[in-house]
């Protein structure tokens, strides 16, 4: 459960204000425990990538990076349109070309300790990961986890594109922005076992939320920039969707909030999200330099904002940090300084954090401070960020690392249904001890006054979320570049952790195509005749309906050869040859989609 904006809007001024009841165990503000050695930022960054595997949804999870996670919510592949909320019936032929009343919305990431899939937090988190790589070139290579970063970005981008439906002109017709809602919170169980109804919510031209569009566009454009050199074809697809969503969000402005409930709310200002999307498109060569420039403290283009820190619906601080990195324009540095100072800064002697999920806000401050440090490890900005991160990683009164699995002591009552499902009859209120170590998850942790309680149901302290880890990566990647770390230590953790599949190999950045696929794939050509046509769809359906005659057994004597099987897997699910592949080929030949594999 998250309650981002509701809490953050109540927190103004300096973050060091204590928010929580004095009945919780507390220490004096600024108290810290000194560590004998520096923390290993490379190890921390690498471990943080595993949280995304813990929150992965759909298929391709079983036998993946984590031993305890498996495919889940696979029935999202057949989400009913009859109960879709705000669905535009004029989009039905595009969304549901076979007319069965269902749409495939599988994949993506759960938002937090629950199992909602929300495009704005997925978009923010993927944007944050892309920013962390852009702002800190080489950090992921030093930490030995760039392949993992790329895998996480691709899963997020795949889902954002899958839930966006473009018409024949390449414009957005509709977007499914939310799968499941607050009703999800009634089920305290692992996602692999859940079968409850998961409603879907849609954006249309008349019911739009431009913040959502901006976050999605920036995520896809940022992913495209990171993958532009190593996988130009995939990057081009991401950029195509980014431009279409950016156009849609600007053309049909709105702040529609259906399905958000009490957990989420968005600021009506959407220009900041659009600015980051424009920044990445500009860096890709797909647009002009963003026109948003600082025109006074807490002001862009003579429009004021509340100079709040970087979070999933207020991202001006991220935009200014990116622009300062790209241009060196001191106007952006001054705006960064103004925002940082108004949030209490990054002191070198006391921890500055408050609010719901305080650690992610602290990491957001570190991002700005590290941007202002501009590579100078001896600057007070850099030293302040280091002090703040060291507190999160264990230099605090309890000796806890609030990045789970890092160090030798961390909280054990985590508000996360997958890692902590209880014994089958327990709920969060029963405070069960976590069944699995949730490696790499940043939880809310303590605040400036030391308030913290290790209780499963006190989710403001013990819940992780996608946006938390994005902010962590933004801070930690900068510290890797400034202060280093031992990437070899990560291997020791992986090899000793029963929760991590030490034998799992991510596709490298320079070879993003899985090794099981050949270089000469002609997607859609199931009969290997050198063309893609309806005959290929027919062969696929025949092989499934009559396996004895046309069976897909991989031998050269079968109706579909081993190469044909690879060519035929085009539905975008990477789940082998199914009727969905035949449908994708038909959609391609009818010009309902423009490319195979289907995105």
Element (H, E) at 479: helix 466-483
Residues 549 and 355: their CA atoms lie apart, in Å, by 63
Distance CA 417, CA 115 (A): 8
pLDDT at 376: 97
Instruction: Check residue 8 and give its pLDDT.
Output: 35
Asked if pLDDT for residue 514 goes beyond 80, the answer is no
Query: Which residue matches tokens 């789970």?
Result: 404
And the tokens for 472?
A: 């962590």
pLDDT at residue 26 greater than cutoff 60 = no
In the chain, the N- to C-terminal Cα span, in Å, equals: 30
Cα three-residue angle 25-27-31, rounded to 5 degrees: 150
pLDDT tens per residue, range 412-449:
999 999 999 988 889 999 999 999 999 999 999 999 99
The answer to whether the CB of 508 falls within 8 A of the CB of 62 is no
Distance separating alpha carbons of residues 79 and 155, to the nearest angstrom: 19
What's the mean per-residue pLDDT of the chain?
Answer: 88
- Sequence-distant (6+) residues with CB within 8 A of 555 are 561, 562
3-class secondary structure, 334: helix
* Active-site annotation, residues: 415, 454, 463
- Please list, in sequence order, all residues whose beta carbon lies within 8 angstroms of the beta carbon of residue 252, skipping any fewer than 6 positions away: 205, 206, 208, 210
Q: Which percentage of the chain shows pLDDT scores above 90?
A: 72
The DSSP output letter for 590 is T
Structure tokens at 412: 């054990």
More confident site: 155 or 181: 155
State how far the Cα of 10 lies from the Cα of 4, in Å rounded to an integer: 10
Which class is 4-14+38-87+109-496 in CATH?
mainly alpha
What SS3 class is residue 164? strand
Tens of pLDDT, residues 468-485: 999 999 999 999 999 999
pLDDT > 70: percent of the chain: 88
Take residue 340 and report the two structure tokens written for it.
């940082």
Q: What does the pLDDT look like over 338-362, one tens digit per residue?
A: 999 999 999 999 999 998 899 999 9
DSSP 78: G
pLDDT tens, 275-308? 999 999 999 999 999 999 999 899 999 999 988 8
Inform me whether the pLDDT recorded for 518 exceeds 50. Answer: no
Query: Average pLDDT, stretch 89-111?
Result: 97
Q: How far is residue 248's CA from residue 432's CA, in Å, rounded to a whole number?
A: 45
How far is it, in rounded angstroms, from Cα 344 to Cα 352? 7
Q: Give the dihedral sign, CA 449/453/454/456.
A: negative
Torsion angle of the four alpha carbons 469, 471, 477, 480, in this order, in degrees rounded to the nearest 10: -90
- Residue with the bigger pLDDT between 553 and 310: it is 310
pLDDT band at 562 (very low <50, low <70, confident <90, very high): low
CA dihedral (93, 97, 99, 100) positive or negative: negative
pLDDT of 529 above 90: no
Tell me phi and psi for residue 28, to 5 degrees. -70, 150
Threshold 0.85, pTM exceeds: no
Cα separation, 211 vs 387, in Å, equals 33
364 close to 313: Cβ distance less than 8 angstroms? no
What confidence score (pLDDT) does residue 581 get? 84
The answer to whether residues 452 and 398 touch, using CB atoms and an 8 Å cutoff, is: yes
- pLDDT exceeds 80 at position 263: no
Q: Is the pLDDT of residue 261 over 90?
A: no
Six-digit token pair at 509? 């950045």
For residue 520, name the pLDDT band (cuts at 50, 70, 90). low
Give the domain ranges of the chain: 4-14+38-87+109-496, 534-589
Token pair 């320079």 is found at: 510
Does the pLDDT value for residue 321 go beyond 50?
yes
pLDDT score of 19 more than 60: no
Tokens 């149901």, residue located:
457
User: With 70 as the cut, is the pLDDT of residue 60 above it?
Assistant: yes
């Amino acid at each position: 459960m998250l309650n981002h904006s509701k809490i953050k809007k109540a927190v103004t001024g300096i973050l060091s204000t204590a928010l929580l009841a004095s009945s919780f165990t507390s220490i004096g503000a600024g108290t810290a425990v000194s560590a004998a050695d520096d923390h290993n930022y490379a190890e921390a960054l690498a471990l943080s990538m595993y949280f995304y595997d813990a929150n992965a949804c759909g298929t391709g999870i079983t036998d993946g990076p984590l031993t305890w996670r498996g495919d889940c919510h696979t029935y999202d592949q057949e989400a009913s349109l009859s109960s879709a909320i705000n669905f535009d019936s004029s989009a039905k032929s595009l969304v549901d070309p076979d007319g069965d009343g269902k749409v495939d919305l599988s994949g993506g990431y759960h938002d937090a300790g629950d199992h909602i899939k929300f495009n704005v937090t997925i978009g923010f988190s993927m944007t944050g990961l892309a920013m962390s790589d852009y702002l800190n070139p080489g950090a992921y290579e030093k930490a030995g986890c760039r392949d993992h970063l790329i895998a996480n970005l691709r899963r997020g981008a795949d889902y954002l594109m899958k839930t966006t439906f473009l018409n024949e002109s390449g414009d957005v017709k509709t977007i499914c922005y939310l799968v499941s809602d607050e009703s999800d919170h009634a089920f305290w169980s692992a996602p692999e076992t859940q079968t409850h109804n998961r409603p879907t919510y849609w954006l249309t031209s008349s019911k739009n939320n431009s913040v959502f569009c901006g976050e999605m566009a920036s995520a896809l454009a940022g992913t495209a920039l990171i993958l532009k050199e190593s996988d130009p074809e995939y990057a081009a697809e991401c950029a195509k969707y980014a431009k279409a969503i950016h156009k849609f969000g600007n053309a049909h402005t709105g702040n529609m909030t259906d399905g958000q409930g009490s957990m989420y709310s968005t600021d009506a200002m959407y220009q900041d999200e659009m600015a980051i999307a424009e920044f990445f498109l500009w860096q890709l060569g797909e647009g002009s330099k963003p026109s948003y420039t600082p025109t006074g403290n807490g002001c862009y283009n003579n429009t004021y904002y509340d100079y709040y820190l970087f979070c999933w619906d207020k991202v001006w601080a991220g935009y200014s940090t990116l622009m300062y990195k790209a241009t060196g324009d001191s106007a952006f540095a001054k705006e960064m300084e103004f925002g940082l100072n108004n949030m209490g800064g990054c002191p070198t002697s006391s921890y500055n954090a408050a609010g719901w999920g305080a650690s992610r806000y602290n990491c957001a401050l570190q991002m700005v401070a590290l941007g202002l440090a501009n590579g100078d490890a001896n600057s007070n900005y850099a030293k302040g960020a280091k002090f703040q991160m060291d507190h999160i990683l264990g230099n605090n009164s309890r000796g806890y690392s609030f990045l789970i699995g890092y160090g030798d002591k961390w909280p054990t009552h985590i508000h996360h249904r997958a890692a902590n499902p209880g014994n089958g009859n327990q709920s969060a209120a029963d405070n069960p001890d976590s069944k699995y170590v949730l490696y790499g998850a940043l939880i809310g942790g303590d605040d400036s006054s030391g308030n913290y309680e290790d209780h499963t149901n006190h989710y403001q302290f013990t819940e992780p979320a996608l946006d938390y880890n994005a902010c962590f990566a933004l801070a930690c990647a900068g510290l890797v570049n400034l202060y280093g770390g031992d990437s070899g230590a990560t291997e020791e953790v992986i090899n000793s952790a029963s929760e991590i599949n030490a034998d799992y190999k991510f596709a490298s950045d320079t070879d993003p195509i899985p090794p099981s696929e050949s270089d000469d794939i002609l997607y859609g050509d199931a009969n290997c005749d050198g063309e893609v046509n309806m005959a290929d769809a027919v062969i696929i359906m025949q092989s499934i309906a009559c396996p004895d005659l046309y069976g897909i057994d991989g031998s050269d004597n079968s109706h579909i050869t081993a190469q044909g099987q690879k060519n035929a897997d085009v539905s975008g699910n990477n789940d082998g040859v199914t009727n969905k592949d035949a449908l994708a080929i038909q959609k391609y030949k009818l010009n309902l989609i423009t490319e195979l594999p289907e995105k």
